[in-house]
Chain A
């Protein structure tokens, strides 16, 4: 399943959490024309610049995207707390 919601947040020392919720399907839908161009550009770059198999690269990127849900990164040090969660 592709990521549905990405939560990014940070909290400066002694302050409240600031969180940004990104609904991925909605963003993909809104940006789909640009994404299509970006994908085509990426595939051409794979072939010409990086000498990679475009279909393989596309499949690999898709598998990465599909595997992202469940990822969670939390970093807390004295100065700032950071949070990244993919659901």
Chain B
């Protein structure tokens, strides 16, 4: 017998409630316990499935609205495609980037790392508020 039921019986014994009321209260306690069994794990947080980009431009001359929803799985698939780029092409890309003043070594960028990055996107929220426009990037 749990604590709540014991309290109800005590109230009945003291004459504070009638037998009918005690029965109804005990039923209510039982229903509550069935709905959330003791020791049950709290529900796991739902993992986001989509990356959303919402842009609202309220400028006078050309108001526009862009709403993009991309499955995170699509990003992961795209990342896996990068592993197909041949090393020769990466070397050429590195040289061109270096010429443009972006000294990035793409050969050091492994798909596993990018995939990890995509996995961590779940909690990313970017809000940009401007007097005429608003940009939101988030996962849902």
Task: Please report A residues at the B interface, Cβ cutoff 8 Å.
Answer: 50-53, 56-57, 60, 63-64, 66-78
The range of chain B's interface size is 20 to 34
Asked if A77 meets B77 with Cβ closer than 8 Å, knowing A57-B84, A71-B71, A72-B69, the reply is no
Asked if A78 meets B86 with Cβ closer than 8 Å, knowing A68-B74, A69-B71, A70-B49, the reply is no
Interface of A is mostly: mixed
Q: Is the CB of A60 within 8 A of B69?
A: no
Q: Is the CB of B67 within 8 A of A67?
A: no
Q: Is B138 engaged at the interface, CB distance under 8 Å to the other chain?
A: no
Asked if A70 meets B69 with Cβ closer than 8 Å, knowing A77-B62, A77-B63, the reply is yes
B47 to chain A, nearest CB (A): 14
Q: Is the CB of B66 within 8 A of A75?
A: yes
Q: Is the CB of B77 within 8 A of A63?
A: yes
| Residues from chain B with Cβ under 8 Å of A66 in the complex | 73, 77
Q: Is the CB of A67 within 8 A of B71?
A: yes
**Alpha-carbon distance between A41 and B49 when the two chains are bound, in angstroms:** 34
